[in-house]
Amino acid sequence: MWSLFHKLGSPRPFYEISDRLLPILGCLTVIFLSVGTIWALGFAPPDYQQGESVRIMYVHVPSAIVAQSSYMIMAIAGAVFLIWRIKIADIALQCAAPIGASLTLLALATGAIWGKPTWGAWWVWDARLTSTLILFFLFIGVIVLRSAKEGSEAVGRATATLAVVGLVNLPVIKFSVDWWFTLHQSSSFSLTEKPSMPVEMWLPLVVMVAGFYLFFFYVWIFSVRTEILKREYRSQWVRFIHDV
């Protein structure tokens, strides 16, 4: 087990292992997302109050969930980089940030589109919306700091520190915002309780959430591979693999 981690920590084995993994991941992403989308848009029942607009949930909820997870993943990559100085963790952090930011933006946009017919406003200063917006700003901070100096290790470590500080702060921000104002309904899902939705509605949602996770990992690993090539293009093995 440990040797696998050690292997994945250095660029070349990671590149080679992910080369085999990526097509499988891509196929699974396509399958899950298309099954989920068709099921959610075509067959899931409309809500008795919200009508057809409830279908936006099948994009909104997964993107919000995966956006939050991707901050978590990014910050863990940052911690790994700070503690063990594994180069690939820096690359992983750098690549996770834009994906996370895009998913956060998607969650905000779909939320606004859904909010207009349901709450009567595009934007409400509600706790969950606001903390998602703050999450977006945290992602922006990481992206901006990381791009201040391309490829510099010191900036990578500074960014990792920022990501970890942000992770420590996130619960406090979430708490204070929750306490500030709440209009949003409570979580759609929790691990411990039975969902309040009927099975025909939450099953496609689960498929969509899984699809979004797969999508995140696919794009993430893909961009990590690209970044490895960008940073290591001078090394022997890259020339060997790509025959240049």
Partner 1 sequence: MLETIRRDLLLHFRKPADILNPLAFFVLIISLFPFGVGPSASILSEISAGVIWVAALLTTLFSIDMMFKSDYEDGTLEQIVLGKESLLLVVYGKVFAQWLVGGLMITLMSPLFGMMFYVNNDGIFATALALMLATPTMTLLGSIGAALTLGLNKGGVLISILVLPLYLPVLILGVAMIDSAIVGDDYVGHVFWLAAILVVSTGFAPLATELGIRISLSE
Q: Which residues bind partner 1 (CB under 8 A)?
A: 82, 134, 137-138, 140-141, 144-145, 148-149, 152, 154-155, 157-158, 161-162, 164-166, 168-169, 172-173, 175-177, 179-180
Is the Cβ of residue 109 or residue 140 nearer to partner 1 in the bound state?
Answer: 140
CB 106 to partner 1: min, Å: 19
Smallest distance, partner 1 to C-beta of residue 162, A: 6
Q: Which is nearer to partner 1, 154 or 244 (CB)?
A: 154
- Least distance to partner 1 from the beta carbon of 12, Å? 26
Picking from 156, 157, 151, 115, the residue whose alpha carbon sits closest to that of residue 132 is 115
Report in angstroms how near the CB of residue 143 gets to partner 1 at its nearest: 9
Taking the least distance from each CB to partner 1, the nearer of 22 and 158 is 158
> What is the closest distance, in whole angstroms, from the C-beta atom of residue 163 to partner 1 in the complex?
11
Nearer to partner 1, 165 or 197 (CB): 165
Of the pair 72, 134, the CB lying nearest partner 1 is at: 134
Of 30 and 72, the one with the shorter C-beta distance to partner 1 is 72
Q: Sort 69 into a burial class: Cβ within 10 Å, 0-12 / 13-18 / 19+.
A: middle
Please give, one letter per residue, the 3-state secondary structure of 131-188: HHHHHHHHHHHHHHHHCCCCCCHHHHHHHHHHHHHHHHHHHHHHHHHHHHCCCCCCCC
Least separation, in Å, of the C-beta of 5 and partner 1?
24
